[in-house]
Amino acid sequence: MAPILSVDRVTKYFAGLAALKEVSFELRQGGIYGLIGPNGAGKTTLLSIVAGALRPTAGSVIFQDRRLSGAKSFRAVRAGIVRTHQIPRPFRALSVLANISVGSRFGLHAQRSASGTRDERRILEWVGLAHVAYIPAATLSVGDQKRLELARALAARPKLLLCDEVCSGLTESETLSVLRLLREIQQAGTTILYVEHNLKAIMSVCDHVIVMNYGRKLAEGSPEAMQNDPAVIEAYIGRTAGT
Ligand SMILES: Nc1ncnc2c1ncn2[C@@H]1O[C@H](COP(=O)(O)OP(=O)(O)OP(=O)(O)O)[C@@H](O)[C@H]1O
Ligand SMILES: [Mg+2]
């Protein structure tokens, strides 16, 4: 089966500084892929390029046989690629439910109806935010803001969901509930590319892990193989042991 996403030799320079250097990988439909690496390795930059928010300096991104490199965010969203942000970016003055409606208006099957559709309410319940549906997003706890990021992304009905540190700052039980959600999202047919520093979380949900270091892909393979890879241990796992 053809990959759902092919990233081919993607390079990104910021004012002469290389954030990504010739990064290539493929994602197969339906998997949960982990993307790990030290701070500054280029993980968020890579997600931003796949999501169409940044244009690569060189290289290409092919999604379902369509070249998206340099595409605008809204084109990527319409094609079915949706991201969550490392630092939640809710529409602060809008209610939680209205934030989710924004997702459904811009997604693959953009809805024109009033907010609060059955789908939006189902998502709200799914992520555990039904009890705060009508309060402004600005007043949510960090954990709930992370859930709202996920809910807004889900409302856009992604084929490929890019998650940037959805569990950072969450308690262990909040983390477990978000990981359960990710598995359910995968079981509903969505492919997931998941960036996280919490290795226990990554190793528990991912089928395959890509490791970045200094803007390059260092290695990729099964979670077990990556945990035992000397280069990965040296560059990253050794430093984060115990997290
Ligand atoms: N908009 C930007 N302008 C200039 N430099 C940037 C920009 N965005 C990222 N960088 C630089 O690119 C490199 C990669 O950053 P990136 O945020 O992608 O790393 P990361 O792997 O997501 O790190 P973290 O784990 O801390 O989130 C860093 O050196 C960063 O300072
Ligand atoms: Mg990042």
pLDDT at 29: 97
Cα 140 to Cα 95, 121, 168, 217, distances in angstroms: 10, 18, 16, 36
Segment 17-27 shows an average pLDDT of 98
* pLDDT tens per residue across span 28-42: 999 999 999 999 999
Distance 97 CA to ligand 1 centre (A): 31
Can you list the alpha helix ranges (DSSP code H) found in 34-130? 43-50, 73-79, 96-106, 118-126
* pLDDT tens per residue across span 87-117: 888 889 999 999 998 877 766 565 555 556 7
pLDDT at 163: 96
pLDDT at 71: 76
- Tell the CATH superfamily of the 5-80+158-240 domain: P-loop containing nucleotide triphosphate hydrolases (3.40.50.300)
pLDDT at 102: 83
Segment 50-61 shows an average pLDDT of 96
Give 8's strand partners.
60
Strand order in the sheet with 17-27: 17-27, 5-14, 58-63, 66-67
* pLDDT tens per residue across span 169-216: 889 998 998 999 999 999 999 999 999 999 999 999 999 999 999 999
Confidence category of residue 69, pLDDT binned at 50, 70, 90: confident
Distance 165 CA to ligand 2 centre (A): 8
Distance 46 CA to ligand 1 centre (A): 9
Q: Decide: 165 and 84 in contact? Cβ < 8 Å.
A: no
Nearest atom (ligand 1) to Cα of 38 = 25
* pLDDT tens per residue across span 130-156: 999 999 999 999 889 999 999 999 998
Ligand having the closest approach to the CA of 13? 1
Q: Which residues line ligand 1 (CB under 6 A)?
A: 14, 19, 37, 39-45, 86
Nearest atom (ligand 1) to Cα of 197 = 25
Distance 40 CA to ligand 1 centre (A): 5
Question: Residue 189 and residue 5: Cα distance in Å, rounded?
Answer: 15
The residue whose C-alpha atom lies closest to atom 7 belonging to ligand 1 is 14
Question: Residue 104 and residue 178: Cα distance in Å, rounded?
Answer: 21
* pLDDT tens per residue across span 206-233: 999 999 999 999 999 999 999 999 999 9
The β-bridge relationship of strands 58-63 and 66-67 is: antiparallel
Contact residues for 16 (Cβ-Cβ < 8 A; gap 6+): none
* pLDDT over 90 percentage in the chain: 74
pLDDT at 242: 47
Give 68's strand partners.
none
Domains of the chain, residue spans: 5-80+158-240, 94-157
